[in-house]
């Protein structure tokens, strides 16, 4: 069971990489997908939307597990976005990883060889995605600040960040302090009640 079509496609792509199988997608619409081996082989998998569960869920309906072709060192997915997704965690830890090192990681993890050009494109794509995520998250803090003050008037929200900008001209987030007015008032009422009881 896959939560959406994208997750299902990534799982099949991962299988193709890990098993060095030249798979291709022959049917791809809003409700179903069909993957087959490109060589003369009976391996096939059909996926379609679930009718009983979440309407976005994709399920494997039919799957043949027999592969009769020889393993391939290159697959159709070598030029897809899969590499950027698969190695995003590595790029987060080692954003300055060199191309030869990235090629070694791909070879060790998936037993395939990829060109320096593909490695560079996927590494740079992952970097852009990660940097964009950081900028987006920082911007959402200000939206959060605005919404809190709108829903809880007289609340305090302090966002602390370094005044100096980095090489990209962005501020570095340090911490956020939130003091909701309803909580402060409840605390005061509780203290007053406790004092009266004494």
In this structure, is residue 82 part of a structural domain? no
For residue 36, what are the β-bridge partners?
24, 44
Residue 119 lies in a domain: no
Confidence of residue 27 (pLDDT cuts 50, 70, 90): confident
Query: By residue range, what is the domain housing residue 178?
Result: 142-197
**C-alpha atoms less than 13 angstroms from C-alpha of 79 in its C-beta half-sphere:** 3
Residue 150 lies in a domain: yes
Residue 176 token pair: 């956020």
Q: Is residue 117 part of a domain?
A: no
| Residue 89, domain member (yes or no) | no
Identify whether 90 is part of a domain.
Answer: no
Q: Give the residue among 45, 124, 57, 43 at the shortest CA–CA distance from 91.
A: 124
Question: Which of 72, 94, 121 is where one domain is finished?
Answer: 72
Q: How many CA atoms lie within 13 A of 174 on its CB side?
A: 9
* Residues 67 and 43 sit within 8 Å (Cβ to Cβ): yes
* Residue 100 placed within a domain: no
From 49, 72, 95, the end of a domain falls on 72
What value does the mean pLDDT take over residues 170-193?
78
Higher-pLDDT residue of 5 and 109 is 5
Domain contains 29: yes
Whole-number pLDDT of residue 79: 47
Tally of CB atoms within 10 A around 13? 22
Residue 69 to residue 51: CA distance in whole angstroms: 35
Average pLDDT, the chain: 77
Q: Report the number of distinct structural domains present in the chain.
A: 2
Give me the residues paired with residue 159 across strands.
176
Q: Give me the pLDDT at residue 194, please.
A: 55
Read off the pLDDT band of 165 (50, 70, 90): confident
Band the pLDDT of 103: cuts 50, 70, 90: confident
Q: Are strands 32-37 and 44-49 parallel, antiparallel or unpaired?
A: antiparallel
Q: Write down which residue in 21, 55, 72 finishes a domain.
A: 72
Q: How far apart (Å, rounded) are the C-alpha atoms in residues 5 and 47?
A: 9
């Amino acid at each position: 069971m896959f939560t959406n079509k994208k997750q299902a496609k990534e799982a099949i792509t991962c299988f193709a990489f890990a098993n060095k199988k030249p798979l291709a997608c022959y049917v791809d619409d809003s409700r179903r997908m069909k993957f087959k081996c490109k060589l003369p082989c009976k391996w096939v998998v059909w996926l379609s939307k679930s009718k009983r569960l979440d309407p976005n869920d994709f399920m494997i309906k039919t799957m043949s597990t027999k592969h009769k072709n020889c393993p391939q060192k290159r697959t159709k997915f070598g030029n897809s976005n899969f590499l950027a997704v698969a190695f995003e965690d590595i790029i987060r830890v080692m954003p300055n990883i060199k191309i030869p090192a990235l090629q070694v990681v791909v070879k060790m993890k998936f037993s395939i060889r990829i060109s320096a050009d593909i490695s560079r494109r996927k590494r740079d794509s992952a970097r852009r995605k990660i940097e964009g995520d950081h900028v987006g998250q920082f911007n959402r803090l200000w939206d959060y600040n605005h919404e809190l003050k709108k829903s809880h008037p007289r609340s305090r929200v302090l966002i602390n960040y370094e005044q100096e900008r980095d090489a990209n001209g962005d501020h570095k987030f340090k911490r956020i302090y939130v003091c909701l007015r309803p909580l402060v008032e409840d605390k005061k009422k509780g203290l007053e009640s406790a004092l009266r009881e004494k």
